[in-house]
């Protein structure tokens, strides 16, 4: 099992089970299937509204001696409505209660976007905070407290661009240890990857397969098909693999953690088998020149007329 190593020696398996979009009623079994298949890394978030069920599955796995707690790497994320300093620790404690854990291996700021406390998704201007109301440095200070209290062994961010990473690194006592962002051949994020690697920040790739099962409201009618792209199909045939395995192997070859989501037992097992696929230099060169550029999760649901935020607050210019 390939892993990345943090500065304190802790290891994070490079393939994890993503749980975004996994419905209650499905995610419990998916987590158990994953652990039985050999996964030791589960990626969660409070806003996914399924952490209680994930916690039930983890407790079942521990009590049945399928795995020990210390063998698992569990990530969760701070939602936008808990960015005030006083709200960060209560938020992680709520997540820990739902997951039935004493600590997280990794806790991330989910987005560099702030809502008023108690808001799920802001629907009016009044439900947003601005960077003047809550600077990112304040939220990061709360994350540092989580680490200092032992509630999270490692802390980081998600959907942060270079300027935002620099901002919290300058303000904080601890630099972010992880940045979780959308990454795949259509969105290689070379500039951001280079910055993170040169500054000791690990990366996790979400939506590595193109997130074709996300809600219709955040999809576009003309978006490209990553899994069905001719080059992905060609490489799958070359390596006697599935298209999904090729896309997972792409991130592994770049030294990036990857969290494919599935609730299908066969695909869960298949995804983990991508550890055995070695893409060569020619494969990676072809993927680097795939031609299509596309961001599936574009963040536009956080911007617009009612929002104080712009897409430039989120993304690098590619």
- Within the chain, residue ranges assigned H as helices are 27-37, 51-63, 85-99, 136-148, 162-171, 190-198, 230-238, 243-253, 265-272, 281-288
**For 272-308, b where at least 16 C-beta lie within 10 A, e where not — what string?**
bbbbebebeeebeeebeebeeeebbbbbeebbeeebb
110 in a known ligand binding site: yes
The domains of the chain are located at 11-221+256-267+297-311
Backbone angles phi, psi at 246, to 5 degrees: -65, -45
φ/ψ region of 13 (left if φ > 0, alpha if ψ in -120 to 50, else beta) reads beta
* CA atoms of 129 and 279, how far apart (whole Å): 44
Query: What's the confidence (pLDDT) of residue 138?
Result: 98
Can you give the pLDDT at residue 217? 63
Determine if the pTM surpasses 0.85. yes
Q: pLDDT at position 213, please?
A: 66
User: Mean pLDDT per segment of 10 residues, for the chain of length 318 residues?
Assistant: 96 96 86 97 96 97 98 98 98 98 98 96 96 97 98 98 96 95 97 97 96 66 91 98 97 98 94 97 97 93 93 85
Residue-level pLDDT at 155 = 98
Residue in the structure block whose two tokens are 């806790």: 107
What local confidence, expressed as pLDDT, does residue 222 receive? Answer: 83
Contact indicator for 235, 286 with CB cutoff of 8 Å: yes
Looking at the DSSP bridge assignments, the partners of residue 182 are 206
Architecture of domain 11-221+256-267+297-311: Alpha-Beta Barrel (3.20)
Active site residues: 48
Residue 215: per-residue pLDDT: 63
Which residue do the tokens 């792409």 mark?
250
Nearest to 15 by CA among 37, 46, 32: 37
pLDDT of residue 239: 98
If 0-12 CB within 10 Å is exposed, 13-18 middle and 19+ buried, where does residue 240 land? exposed
Number of residues that this document lists for the chain: 318
């Amino acid at each position: 099992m390939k892993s990345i190593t943090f500065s304190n020696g802790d290891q994070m398996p490079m393939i994890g089970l993503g749980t975004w979009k996994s419905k209650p009623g499905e995610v419990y079994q998916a987590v158990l299937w994953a652990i039985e298949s050999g996964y030791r890394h589960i990626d969660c978030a409070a806003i996914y509204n399924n952490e209680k069920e994930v916690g039930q599955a983890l407790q079942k796995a521990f009590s049945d001696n399928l795995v020990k707690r210390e063998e698992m790497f569990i990530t969760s994320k701070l939602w936008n409505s808990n960015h005030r300093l006083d709200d960060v620790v209560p938020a992680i404690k709520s997540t820990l209660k739902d997951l039935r854990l004493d600590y997280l291996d990794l806790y991330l700021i989910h987005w560099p976007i702030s809502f008023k406390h108690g808001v799920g998704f802001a629907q009016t201007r009044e439900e947003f905070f601005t960077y003047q109301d809550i600077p990112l440095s304040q939220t990061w200070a709360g994350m540092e407290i989580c680490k200092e209290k032992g509630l999270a062994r490692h802390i980081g961010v998600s959907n942060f661009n270079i300027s935002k990473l620099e901002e919290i690194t300058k303000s904080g006592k601890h630099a972010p240890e992880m940045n979780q962002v959308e990454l795949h051949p259509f969105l290689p994020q070379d500039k951001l990857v280079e910055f993170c690697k040169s500054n000791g920040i690990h990366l996790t790739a979400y939506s590595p397969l193109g997130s074709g099962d996300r809600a219709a409201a955040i999809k576009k009618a003309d978006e490209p098909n990553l899994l069905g792209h001719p080059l992905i199909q060609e490489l799958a045939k070359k390596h006697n693999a599935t298209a999904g395995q090729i896309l997972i192997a792409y991130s592994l070859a770049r030294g990036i953690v990857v969290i494919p989501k599935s609730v299908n037992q066969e695909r869960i097992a298949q995804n983990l088998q991508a550890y055995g696929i070695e893409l060569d230099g020619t494969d990676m060169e072809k993927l680097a020149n795939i031609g299509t550029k596309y961001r599936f999760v574009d963040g536009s649901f956080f911007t617009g007329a009612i929002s104080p935020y712009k897409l430039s607050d989120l993304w690098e210019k590619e």
